[in-house]
Structure 1
Amino acid sequence: MWLLLAFCSAALLGFYDVFKKKSLAGNAVLPVLGLNTLFSSLIFLPFILISHFRPEWLQQTIFFVPDAGWEVHRYILLKSVIVLSSWTFGYFGMKHLPLTIVGPINATRPVMTLVGALLIFGERLNLYQWIGVLLAIVSFFLLSRSGKKEGIDFQHNRWIWFVVLAALLGAVSGLYDKYLMGRFDKMVVQSWYNVYQLFLMGSVLMFLWWPKRKTTTPFHWDWCIILISVFLSAADFVYFYSLSLDGSMISIVSMVRRSSVLVSFFFGAMIFHEKNLKSKVIDLLLVLLGMIFLYIGSTH
């Protein structure tokens, strides 16, 4: 059950990436990110309010948000900082890079998550998992070769490093999620981390973007911004629900969620008409092959 939920979350994440790319085209990054946090918070705010003032309405459902004190909220606040940092780097990188470059880089997150699980949680990789890790690393270097054909130098292009840093923070967030789901209610975590992100992002907009808004890329409204929040919230809800089930493994869930690259790669090719698809397909196949080995190794 938890594995099926992970695949569902991956499909939703793929559409989230597509709508994010569409919204960022020629648009100011920080306001788009700010609106994303606003709409995501508005999606979960009714559940928080109803659970507090009319708990009997939701108490027997998966949408109930139990009350929690500061001893819980401080952990959620830290998650908000990690996720918002990852988003900020990821949004800036995605704006300036082809989706068919960003997607496969993000697909290396399971490798980082596995390494983190190895170092932090004392997990040990078997032969299949090591093969998967090596395939993913090789695919990243091959991808850098594809990027140079588009004038993208992986070593000296700061947007590449933004995406890499976003992926690294995303892996940290995934490992932290495993810790949180073992201790706290999934709806408490998802609902409140969205609310905290809204306040954090509000401060960023007020002090960083607003004073310089007339000298940077102008913001324009795009209806895809709402779809970013809808698909992300749905993907995260299914993801947290998957991790909360008995027997779920963050290494496998993280890997499966990166298969969202299939959706983003397809739309990058068909809708955004991105370049050098033939060489990128080979790189993508290596990423997917690495995931398959990781999956086999994690289920035996």
Structure 2
Amino acid sequence: MWMYLGLLAALFLGIHNLCKKHAVQNNETYTVLLGTLVAGFLMLLPVFLGSWYLPETMQEWHLFVQPLSPSDHGFILIKSAIMATSWVLAYQALKHLPITIVTPIRSAGPFFTFIGALLIYQERPNVAQWTGFFLIIISVFLYSRIGKKEGIHFKSNKWIYAIVAATFLGASSGLYDKFLIQNLTLTPSTLQFWFCTYTMLIILVIVLYKRRKSEAVRKGFSWRWSIPLVGILLQLADYFYFRALQDPEALIMLLSAIKRSQILIAVLLGGILFKEQNKRKKLVPLFGILAGVFLILYS
């Protein structure tokens, strides 16, 4: 069951990435990120209030936000700091790079998760899973060669380093999620609500600081319908992802790889909607990544 929940998360993440590209294009990224978090918070607020006044009903619906100790709040705050940094880097990179380059680099996230799962959770892969992960990494390298034809030189472009760092931090957060869900036994809605709340406050501080220091930040933001949609789609994806992690049999290395099937939506539809270059050539490494995901999923 957890694999199907992971596929649902991937579906919403794929659509989320397309909306995110629309939201940040020629727009002020910090304020866009804050807007998506506010939309997610408003979506989760009725769940939090319902857990106070109708706890039994919310438990039946698997939407209960449980009471937390100060140490639990501290653990969630750590996750919020990690992801706030990752999102700031990712949004800036997405603003300056084609989605058909950003998304495949982000697809290397399962490799970082794979290493962490080996070292931290003692998950043991078989030969097919090893093959799948190396297929993903080789395919990402092929994307770097295609990116040079679009004037994107991976060694000298700072936004490439930004998206790589964002990917590493995101993978670290994914490993941390398993600890929060399985070791601390947080419900998905609990983690979602407080994570969204703390991350929103962190980004709010950044936006206020940036708006005070830079006129471009104050005047560079334009409202778009895709901004709240990004926040809503992300919360839907996170819900199914956290539900999948509740299963004691769920392997974080495989779940992380399953989520990367979102690139099918981002690369194919994104290349068409945003009229990006070399779409056909990008299909070759795309199928390499999908083959890697397939090997991991069915090994």
TM-score by length of 2: 0.95
In the alignment, is the contact (CA less than 8 A) between 1:102 and 1:163 conserved in 2? yes
> Structure 2 vs 1, CA of residues 215 and 37 (structure 1 numbering), >3 Å: closer, same or farther?
closer
Q: Deviations over 1:88-129 (max 9, x none)?
A: 111111111111111111111111111111122223332112
Structure 1 residue 211 displacement after superposition: 2.5
Q: Give the Cα separation in 2 of the matches to 1:277 and 1:25.
A: 19
- The residue type paired with residue 240 of structure 1 is F
> Structure 2 vs 1, CA of residues 59 and 129 (structure 1 numbering), >3 Å: closer, same or farther?
closer
Percent of counterpart pairs with the same letter? 36
Indicate whether 1:101 and 2:105 are aligned.
no
Gaps of 5+ in 2: none
How many residue pairs are counted as aligned between the two chains? 297
Matches within 5 A, 1:20-59: 20-59=20-59
Indicate whether 1:286 and 2:273 are aligned.
no
Aligned to 2:16: 16
In the alignment, is the contact (CA less than 8 A) between 1:34 and 1:201 conserved in 2? yes
Aligned to 1:237: 239
Structure 1 residue 76 displacement after superposition: 0.7
Q: Deviations over 1:262-281 (max 9, x none)?
A: 11112222211110112211
Q: Give the Cα separation in 2 of the matches to 1:107 and 1:263.
A: 13
In the alignment, is the contact (CA less than 8 A) between 2:103 and 2:263 conserved in 1? yes
Structure 1 residue 56 displacement after superposition: 4.2
Aligned to 2:248: 246
Indicate whether 1:205 and 2:200 are aligned.
no
Q: Give the Cα separation in 2 of the matches to 1:109 and 1:123.
A: 17
Aligned to 1:272: 274
- The residue type paired with residue 276 of structure 1 is N
In the alignment, is the contact (CA less than 8 A) between 1:80 and 1:197 conserved in 2? yes
Q: Give the Cα separation in 2 of the matches to 1:36 and 1:106.
A: 20
| Range that drifts further, 179-188 or 88-97 | 179-188
Aligned to 1:196: 198
- The residue type paired with residue 173 of structure 2 is S
Q: Secondary structure of the residue that 1:214 maps to in structure 2? A: helix
Q: Deviations over 1:180-239 (max 9, x none)?
A: 110222221111100111111111111124431337871100010011011111000111
Q: Give the Cα separation in 2 of the matches to 1:111 and 1:209.
A: 37
- The residue type paired with residue 101 of structure 1 is I
Q: Give the Cα separation in 1 of the matches to 2:118 and 2:211.
A: 39
Indicate whether 1:64 and 2:64 are aligned.
yes
In the alignment, is the contact (CA less than 8 A) between 1:107 and 1:258 conserved in 2? yes
- The residue type paired with residue 146 of structure 1 is I
Structure 1 residue 86 displacement after superposition: 1.1
TM-score by length of 1: 0.95
Gaps of 5+ in 1: none
